[in-house]
Structure 1
Amino acid sequence: MFKYKTLLLLLAAVGLVSFQSDPAGEELMKFYEEHQVQGSFILYDQKNDRYTYYNQEQTNTPFTPASTFKICNSLIALETGAVKDEHTVSKWDQKERPVPAWNADTDMRNAFKNSTVWFYQELAKRVGEEKMKFWLKKANYGNGDISGGIDGFWLWGGLRITPAQQIDFLRNLHQNKLPFSARSMDIVKDIMIAKSTKDYVIRAKTGNGKQGNLYVSWYVGYITTANNVYYFSNCIQTKDKKEDFKKAGVSIAINVLDNLKVINKQDWDN
Structure 2
Amino acid sequence: MKYFQSTIRFFVVSTLTFFITATSHADDADLAKLFQDRGLEGTIVISSLDGKTSYLHNSRRSETRLIPASTFKIPNTLIALEEGAVKNEKEVIKWDGKDRGFDAWNRDQTLETAFPVSCVWFYQELASRVGNQKYLAHLKKMGYGNEKTGHDVTTFWLEGDLKISAMEQINFLKKLYKESLPYSKANIRLLKKIMIVEENPQVTIRAKTGWGMRVNPQQGWYVGYVETKGQVWFFATNFEIRKKGDDAFRKEITMAALKAKGIL
Fold conserved (TM > 0.5)? yes
* Structure 1 residue corresponding to 2:41, chosen from 1, 17, 38: 38
Matched-pair contact (CA < 8 Å) for 1:40–1:54:
yes
Q: How far 1:46 sits from its partner (Å)?
A: 2.1
Cα distance in 1 for residues equivalent to 2:261 and 2:179: 27
Q: What is the aligned residue count? A: 254
* Structure 2 residue corresponding to 1:22, chosen from 15, 22, 26: 26
> Where does structure 1 differ by over 4 angstroms across 4 or more consecutive aligned residues?
14-19
Cα distance in 1 for residues equivalent to 2:86 and 2:196: 20
Q: How is 1:79-94 mapped onto 2 (pairs within 5 angstroms)? A: 79-94=82-97
Cα distance in 2 for residues equivalent to 1:141 and 1:28: 26
Residue 137 (structure 1) aligned with residue 128 (structure 2): no
For residue 161 of structure 1, what is the aligned residue in structure 2? 164
Cα distance in 2 for residues equivalent to 1:159 and 1:24: 29
Q: Give SS of 1:157's match.
A: coil
Q: How far 1:225 sits from its partner (Å)?
A: 2.0
For residue 250 of structure 1, what is the aligned residue in structure 2? 251
Q: Give SS of 1:114's match.
A: coil
Q: TM-score, normalised by structure 1?
A: 0.88
Matched-pair contact (CA < 8 Å) for 1:218–1:249:
yes
- Structure 2, unaligned runs of 5 or more: 1-11
* Structure 2 residue corresponding to 1:237, chosen from 225, 235, 240: 240
For residue 185 of structure 2, what is the aligned residue in structure 1? 182
Q: How is 1:1-270 mapped onto 2 (pairs within 5 angstroms)? A: 11=14, 13-14=16-17, 18=21, 19-22=23-26, 24-25=28-29, 27-46=30-49, 49-210=52-213, 212-238=215-241, 241-263=242-264
Matched-pair contact (CA < 8 Å) for 2:124–2:154:
yes
Q: How far 1:64 sits from its partner (Å)?
A: 0.2
Identity %: 36
- Structure 1, unaligned runs of 5 or more: 1-8, 264-270
Structure (1 or 2) with the larger CA radius of gyration:
2
Q: Give SS of 1:134's match.
A: helix
Cα distance in 1 for residues equivalent to 2:115 and 2:215: 26
Cα distance in 1 for residues equivalent to 2:51 and 2:142: 26
Matched-pair contact (CA < 8 Å) for 1:63–1:211:
no
Q: TM-score, normalised by structure 2?
A: 0.90
Q: Give SS of 1:250's match.
A: helix
